[in-house]
Structure 1
Amino acid sequence: MATCYRHPSRETGVSCSNCGRPICPDCMTTTQVGMRCPECAKQRTKVMRVRDMSAVPRLTYALIAINVIAFLAEGNITATGGGLGNDVYREGALLGSSELAPFAGQGVAHGQWWRIVTGGFLHENLIHIGFNMYVLYVLGQMLEPALGSFKFAVVYGVSLLTGSLGALIVSPHSLTVGASGAVFGLMGATATEMRARQIPLMQSGVGGLILINLIISFTIPGISWGGHIGGLIGGVLATSVIRLGDRHRAQALALAGCALIAAAAVSGAVAAAKSSEVERSENGQPVGTISPAP
């Protein structure tokens, strides 16, 4: 059994709902989100007042603006349709490799590594971007004030990259666009935060949101379920590492851990793109089946 972080001689089975440190009865402070240690209890007003002006999720709004601007620049402004758009779409969409026109010799496998990032800011149509931006707005309202803008950016970035990795593992020869990987990462991050703070997932609505989106990912054709699962895993990993760093007062190491996850995702994405191209070439199959997947 763990011992109280302030009183090592006292065993306890209770941890602070914010930082996770073990606390004995003398160190417990009851709050609306569970038991807190003395240090975290002093910060409870800052944690709970998510609608305070100092906690406006500015980065969330900035990310929404960037996605909307990128969508307008693509030339794919249709409600439900799609297409290859203009050069912004064709040069920015995630693609492992292809031998089919007009993408012959293009993709991550051919040195176009930026697609791993830019694909996460492009969208197929108005419904696609509308849904993703709505979920980003809802989750950002909760998660950015809880983590802080910088850590929120780290989680978003890691999730985007792991989402691209998942998409390239599952469908390396298809064009893939959308912020869904990063948004799924925010779902995983929100669930991780709520669980750590002893907030029921299903009662909060976040658990249902994740479940519904997972069902949609695996039942509707054309959706990049690999990107969704990859993003979800990345969000959970990044948030867990950040919380571990906060718990042990080792934030620099936590950020280094997140950077390592991001680097591994990029390396894995490049490797997945190259290996799939080699495998299909050796089998004598054409490399590339261009089917935009939101």
Structure 2
Amino acid sequence: MQPQKTLWFAVIALSLVSAALQLLGLSELLAFKRSDIAHGEWWRLISGNVLHTNWWHVAMNLAGMWVVVFIHRMHYHAIGFLCLMLALCLFEGTGLYLAVPSLWGYVGLSGILHGLFAFGSLCDIQKHLRSGYLLLAGVIAKVTWEQYAGGNPEVTSLIGAPVATQAHLIGLLSGLLLWGLYWGWCRTRQTTET
């Protein structure tokens, strides 16, 4: 099977998991909850990222994921994409837990999407696509503005919860860090193969 087809199967599978979790209403068991994580429920660092507050939240985040994957599809194959998403979830959850002690609960994929967007933009830059610089500058400007101005009130109303702008910042930083690790790993492999 062609790599692009398997990538879209992975995106569909992740979308179905997220929708199924919303349908089953598993927030009590899987949402990022600081107190439960402190008592050993470490899976919440990852699983909270694929849960949502309502169906509008699901729809917006999944549409965002599809758009981001479409823009950077040439950089991914199914297994690499799923591994990147898992790593972004782990970095996001851990980052929120360690760096934002005031955040007691969190659900949503938007932080991960900021990381995925940054990672893809850096892949564009590595492939000498000038648009990568514009995309990276855009996501950095958006996240920087949110840290100053806060989340969009219309989105807050639609999803029934405050926009966790800290999650967007941690997602962005996670994407940058993971790309740095990926780049270093690629360089090390090239060195050892020559």
Range of TM-score over shorter length: 0.7 to 0.9
Partners in 2 of 1:111 and 1:158 — Cα distance? 19
Name the count of aligned residue pairs: 179
The higher-RCO structure (CA 8 Å, 6+ apart) is 2
Distance 1:226 1:234, change over 3 A: same
Deviation digits for residues 182-232 of structure 1 (CA, Å, limit 9, x no counterpart): 211101101211121222247865643553355346522722222222221
What's the CA shift for 1:176? 0.5
The answer to whether the 8 A contact 2:123-2:132 is kept is no
1:194 aligned partner: 124
Q: What letter matches 1:55 in structure 2?
A: Q
TM-score, length of structure 2 as denominator length: 0.78
1:63 aligned partner: 14
1:89 aligned partner: 27
What's the CA shift for 1:156? 1.3
- Bigger share in helix: 2
2:24 aligned partner: 73
Q: How does 1:255-270 map to 2 (within 5 A)?
A: none
- State the identity as a percent: 21
Gaps of 5+ in 1: 1-51, 75-87, 98-106, 252-294
What's the CA shift for 1:166? 2.9
Deviation digits for residues 238-286 of structure 1 (CA, Å, limit 9, x no counterpart): 22222332233269xxxxxxxxxxxxxxxxxxxxxxxxxxxxxxxxxxx
Q: What letter matches 2:27 in structure 1?
A: Y
1:219 aligned partner: 150
SS of equivalent residue, structure 2 residue 189: coil
Partners in 1 of 2:186 and 2:22 — Cα distance? 37
SS of equivalent residue, structure 1 residue 248: helix
What's the CA shift for 1:137? 0.5
Q: What letter matches 2:14 in structure 1?
A: L
Q: What letter matches 1:198 in structure 2?
A: H
SS of equivalent residue, structure 2 residue 93: helix
TM-score, length of structure 1 as denominator length: 0.53
Partners in 1 of 2:135 and 2:100 — Cα distance? 29
Q: What letter matches 1:230 in structure 2?
A: I
Deviation digits for residues 131-175 of structure 1 (CA, Å, limit 9, x no counterpart): 211111112224354132222222211211121123223145522
1:112 aligned partner: 41
The alignment yields a C-alpha RMSD, in angstroms, of 2.8
